[in-house]
Amino acid sequence: MVLQSRLVRDWLIRGDKEIRKNVKNTRSKMEDLSAKELRDAIAAGRISSVEATEAVFQRIDKLEPVIGAYISTYRDRALETAADVDRRLTAGEPVGELAGVPLAIKDNMCTTFGGIYRGKECLMNISAGTLTNLIFLIAIICSCLTGGRFIANAADNTGAAAELVRNKIIRDFQDCEIYPKGPYGRYFIFGQDTFPEIQWRNPDLVEKALGEFPLKVRWFDPELNEVSVPGKPGRYAAVIEGTSPNGVHIWRAITVYHRPADWRPWRDNPKVYVEYPPGSPIDKSAWEERKDLIASYSGKLFFGLMTNEPQGAVLMSYLTEMKSLGRKPTKTETPEIQNDDYHLALKRKLLGVENKYPPLKMPHKIKVKPAPILRTGTPEEAGVKFDTAQKLRTVCQQFYARDKGPFVVLVARHGVMIIHEVFGEGPQRPVKLDRPMGIFSLAKALTGVMFAQFVDQGLIAIDDPVGKFLSDFPVEGDKSITMRHCFTHTTGLEGHFKWGGMHNPWLDNVIANGLSYLEPGKAYKYNGMGYDLAGKVMEIVSGKSIFRLMHENLFAPLGMKNTTMDDMASDTTGNAEDIARIGQLLLNKGSYGELEYFSAETFEKLLPQPLDRFYPGISQEFGIGLKWMTVGHPDVGKSGVHREKTILGRNIIGHTGGWRNEMLVDLDNDLVIVHIHSQNRPRGKAFDEFKMQFLMALEDGLVK
């Protein structure tokens, strides 16, 4: 972004003829003034800040209905600030360099008031002593233009602006990857008898962020032996380590594949056949007629990507390591999980923790009566009226008729399924009960349940610092991140699936590289990266790559046959029955059928709690992957209705996911409610009405 006075003239200051008539005694026409000239005019008293601000709002009122540029304008706040600037100027009090100048900023810049939005802008008036001073923008712009080297010497926000820009440089460094350099670009698959050179994608940025320091590159063969030259063809790992002048420790690692020198598959024009993508706009008959031509071109693309992309080395290593199984492969026998296993074993070796932790035990058999499991049964066994399922079905049918988005619903009481049905048809293919669909942030609840096993076995405590297990993190002080921080969105981290996600073997180190700008326990910021950091702790303690761990220690024993994770907090697919099994496990306080995953005492530790008990000033309540899902009754506010009246129980836990997916576990009524939607549709009010009607129909059908 480059900010010029023309931008200010054209979008903020320029008024039409009617506006100009209302602005008296200006040195020049409003639209001809740069930001500096307007500042000078305000400072000299030729125009007041209030007049300038009112002119801008008049312009917005006229054009906003057509342009739609602003999500919020803070009119009252801006005018109040403008009046205060005028008062201070009249009194001769000191003000900031650009005090009184109206300013629009992008929504991705935090302010000291209001929310953070996407895609539009907000308008406010700049005053001294706030982070919204224009010097903040100037500092960032100067940073962009000068490669991060700038001198800001204006008003009283210089230090804050410099810190913000510094943090931006560190964040950009965290995005910087390493790659093997070849004669024509990136070479993740190589044939020469020496290892390729490893370099940063943007070495200037690295130097700018951390200073100049040497990197040590170490190479490891498929058996984790350190080597100096490649031997037999196969998988190799490059591990990069270094320490910056200010003590920031760097770990990075990648997979490369050493191919036989005389094997160049692209020279033989191999074909790669791709199945017709269902529901695509491509003519299927034309696809079938040209499948050989498509396969030839796909082959060229395939081997080009194999060489130039990191996933190519992962896949090629997997393909050459495959052995006949004599059976169908399991969900853990994938290229990515196999690569994750390799790098985790290498990481534990390098950190010297191969034998440090006791093994995580598998869920064990209950010595007493088995816990309830999901099953079919009668309305009497479920404790509902005979027509409850039909009433729920009618509500769902009405919602689908209105929304046209297919979805699956499962409701169970005492483990007995009251309804488990599909509503609607997908545009490309039918939606079936066992079809995996995106469940997104419901993954956070799954991660919390997995973590409960570590807590229950005393391997990790909820308030343990991450630094107890990962040495790049401090164990005390204001930069110490705890496991509770990770699960309650209070690490200071933002976003989901960043920096390569869980498939980055040193994701935790990348996060640690940004400790300078993190403020653990200071604010609630909903994110997924804290869950990924918790996943890295669970990996290092258990010795299992995280998605193998999830499958072997949770999904498989619980009978979750259709759930696959690719992130600890978002990128996950599953179906309603699988998620309902997690719900029933929670309802049973840690047990399911004959197996106990964690104790009832540990279950209580997972429940949402007011976060200000741990972090003063944070008002939210959150647990270990769980939040309160209690639903207020629509009659609240009417005469005689208590303000805390709810639909169903007061103690409902669970989580939500994208596309309005939900898991609700009603601890008071022994209920599990799951609905999974196959499409992202703008449901809004329609969905809220459906949910209310659905839950009220369910409540009406309960036999107390």
H or E stretch covering 665: strand 661-666
The more confident residue out of 79 and 428 is 79
pLDDT at 486 over 80: yes
| Bridge partner residues of 125 (DSSP) | 102
Bridge-based pairing state of the strands 178-182 and 185-186 = antiparallel
pLDDT at 348 over 70: yes
For residue 10, give the 3-state DSSP assignment.
helix
Domain ranges of the chain: 5-132, 176-323, 392-701
What's the pLDDT at 364? 97
What's the pLDDT at 159? 66
pLDDT at 82 over 50: yes
What's the pLDDT at 679? 76
Encoded tokens for 385: 């009226």
Domain 392-701: which CATH class?
A: alpha beta
The stretches of 276-406 forming alpha helices (DSSP H) are: 284-289, 291-308, 310-321, 335-351, 379-382, 388-403
Lowest average pLDDT, out of 141-145, 506-510, 680-684, goes to 141-145
Instruction: Express each pLDDT in 225-268 by its tens digit.
Output: 999 999 999 999 999 999 999 999 999 999 999 999 888 877 77
| pLDDT above 70 as % of the chain | 84
At 426, is the pLDDT very low, low, confident or very high (cuts 50, 70, 90)?
Answer: low
Using an 8 Å Cβ cutoff, are 331 and 564 in contact? yes
What's the pLDDT at 29? 58
Encoded tokens for 422: 């599909």
At 10, is the pLDDT very low, low, confident or very high (cuts 50, 70, 90)?
Answer: very low
pLDDT at 48 over 50: yes
What's the pLDDT at 68? 65
The more confident residue out of 12 and 686 is 686
User: Structure pTM?
Assistant: 0.79
What's the pLDDT at 542? 98
pLDDT at 15 over 90: no
Bridge-based pairing state of the strands 591-592 and 609-610 = unpaired
pLDDT at 127 over 70: no
For residue 543, give the 3-state DSSP assignment.
coil
What's the pLDDT at 428? 62
Q: Please state the rounded mean pLDDT for residues 434-446.
A: 95
Order the strands of the 591-592 sheet from edge to edge.
364-365, 595-596, 591-592
Using an 8 Å Cβ cutoff, are 225 and 291 in contact? no
Instruction: Express each pLDDT in 278-318 by its tens digit.
Output: 878 899 999 999 999 999 999 988 888 888 899 999 999 99
Encoded tokens for 584: 């029933």
**Rounded CA gap, 54 and 72, in Å?**
16
List all residues 6 or more positions away from 122 whose beta carbon is below 8 Å from its beta carbon. 70, 71, 72, 73, 74, 104, 105, 107, 111, 114
pLDDT at 176 over 50: yes
Cα atoms in the Cβ-side hemisphere of radius 13 Å centred on 135: 24
